[in-house]
């Protein structure tokens, strides 16, 4: 399997210098929070696939729901027809989203949901006769996907090599991570500084040219960065004041990761203009994304005098089988009380995570809900990048040898296990991490 894969399969984020030699995992099956590799070894799936498998692996009722829909109707054009699962899911998602967000466009994943959100802003401003109001404000370390536009608003330095981007349309704000604030600065002062960054950029560019601000509630792929307290509310206020659409990218945080259906309102107290989601909507069993649009935005795009097409969508928008999988997934999350479970287990998860900070090679252990990140730190913050990379990779190796998958990101490891993880399994996971860190500590001390 690995042999033919290596010959013919170009993976996402492949290292092009070594793509024929690079090491790969081959997973053969999954069960609960575990996956099994080709050698039959059982590993805890620390990242839940790719922040996705909320309900865990091996759910027969998911297979049954998917099979039933395949037999009933495996596909229908989403253009002017609908299907029972698509209509029911749209109603369900609208009911779960903040009160004013009631219109759902289904997409094929997170990137296409982000693309749709940004194009919605462009469409709206063209309809309103203000074609110049199109600049998008995004943030350093934010990740929004891999279509041209979604990649253009992604602020991860690592992802900026060799491709082209829509630079004319995008402006980035500096890192919001409280961990990097100057020594002695309070979190409240850091929040003021970060809100000022946005205010200054709006003034510099001119609000009449800015169409949208896109932000993950927690910057997940950037290293589980939690903006300072009050940041979300204050940035939303600024956007409202200047009629800039606030797009909350909840591709990771929606569907239970922080113990709620959506984090924007229920965790951070804001009602965005648009929310994007994917991953956890089907627990990764099938690909699906959604762009959820507020009534206020819809009103400005429609109406008797707006007799124009909204030419955006995909052959697989609202795919009936994917929608059936999402409905079953949501039913399982509700029936098994997984949101309540996450809220109950998160303190234990976060306490065990924070305890890892006592290691001399861990600079910051941060997280929220069932999201966690360890940021390695060897010798102050000026450690050369190649050493930092080695640290992340070594932590990954040491965890894997002990039966835990984590996701290395330069000098960091991130994890977001299936929401079904039990208190004993949380302990098992952090016991492995503690042990792995001790091993790596000896090498880098």
What residues line the site for ligand PLP (CB under 6 A)?
109-111, 114, 143-146, 216, 220-221, 249, 251-252, 278
In the complex, minimum distance from the CB of residue 114 to ligand PLP, in angstroms, rounded to a whole number: 5
Which backbone phi and psi does 404 adopt, to 5 degrees?
Answer: -135, 130
* Residue number with the smallest Cβ distance to ligand PLP: 110
- Of 111 and 329, the one with the shorter C-beta distance to ligand PLP is 111
- Of 252 and 429, the one with the shorter C-beta distance to ligand PLP is 252
In the complex, minimum distance from the CB of residue 182 to ligand PLP, in angstroms, rounded to a whole number: 28
- Of 276 and 390, the one with the shorter C-beta distance to ligand PLP is 276
- Of 278 and 413, the one with the shorter C-beta distance to ligand PLP is 278
In the complex, minimum distance from the CB of residue 145 to ligand PLP, in angstroms, rounded to a whole number: 3
In the complex, minimum distance from the CB of residue 289 to ligand PLP, in angstroms, rounded to a whole number: 6
- Residue showing tokens 């030699």: 21
- Of 111 and 116, the one with the shorter C-beta distance to ligand PLP is 111
In the complex, minimum distance from the CB of residue 220 to ligand PLP, in angstroms, rounded to a whole number: 5
Length, in residues, of the chain: 445
In the complex, minimum distance from the CB of residue 262 to ligand PLP, in angstroms, rounded to a whole number: 13
- Of 109 and 376, the one with the shorter C-beta distance to ligand PLP is 109
């Amino acid at each position: 399997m690995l042999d033919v894969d290596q010959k013919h399969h170009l993976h996402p984020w492949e290292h092009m210098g070594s793509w024929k030699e690079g090491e790969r995992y081959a997973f053969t099956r999954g069960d609960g929070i575990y996956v099994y590799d080709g050698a039959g070894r059982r590993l805890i799936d620390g990242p839940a696939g790719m922040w996705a498998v909320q309900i865990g692996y091996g759910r027969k009722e998911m297979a049954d729901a998917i099979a039933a829909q395949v037999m009933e109707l495996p596909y229908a054009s989403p253009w002017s027809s609908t299907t029972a699962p698509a209509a029911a899911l749209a109603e369900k998602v609208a009911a779960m989203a903040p009160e004013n967000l009631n219109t759902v466009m289904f997409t094929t994943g997170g990137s296409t949901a982000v693309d749709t959100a940004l194009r919605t802003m462009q469409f709206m401003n063209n309809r309103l006769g203000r074609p110049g109001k199109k600049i998008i404000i995004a943030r350093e370390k934010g990740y929004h996907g891999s279509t041209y536009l979604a990649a253009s608003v992604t602020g991860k330095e690592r992802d900026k090599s060799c491709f082209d981007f829509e630079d004319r349309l995008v402006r980035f704000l500096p890192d919001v991570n409280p961990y990097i604030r100057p020594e002695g600065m309070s979190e409240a002062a850091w929040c003021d500084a970060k809100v000022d960054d946005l205010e200054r950029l709006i003034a510099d560019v001119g609000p009449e040219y800015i169409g949208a601000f896109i932000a993950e509630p927690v910057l997940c792929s950037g290293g589980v960065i939690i903006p300072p307290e009050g940041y979300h509310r204050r940035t939303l206020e600024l956007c409202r004041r200047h009629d800039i659409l606030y797009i909350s990218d909840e591709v990771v945080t929606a569907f239970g990761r922080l113990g709620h259906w959506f984090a924007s309102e229920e965790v951070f107290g804001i009602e965005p203009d648009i929310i994007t989601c994917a991953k956890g909507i089907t627990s990764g069993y099938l690909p699906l994304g959604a762009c959820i649009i507020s009534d206020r935005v819809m009103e400005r795009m429609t109406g008797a005098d707006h007799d124009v097409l909204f030419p955006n969508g995909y052959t697989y928008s609202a795919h009936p089988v994917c929608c059936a999988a999402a409905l079953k997934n949501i039913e399982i999350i509700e029936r098994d009380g997984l949101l309540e479970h996450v809220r109950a287990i998160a303190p234990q998860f976060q306490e065990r995570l924070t305890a890892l900070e006592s290691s001399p090679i861990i600079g910051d252990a941060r997280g929220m809900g069932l999201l966690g990140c360890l940021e390695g730190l060897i010798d102050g913050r000026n450690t050369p990048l190649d050493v930092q990379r080695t640290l992340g990779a070594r932590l990954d190796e040491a965890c894997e040898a002990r039966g835990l998958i984590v996701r290395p990101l330069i000098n960091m490891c991130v994890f977001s296990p299936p929401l079904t993880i039990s208190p004993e399994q949380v302990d098992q996971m952090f016991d492995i991490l503690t042990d792995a860190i001790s091993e790596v500590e000896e090498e880098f001390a």
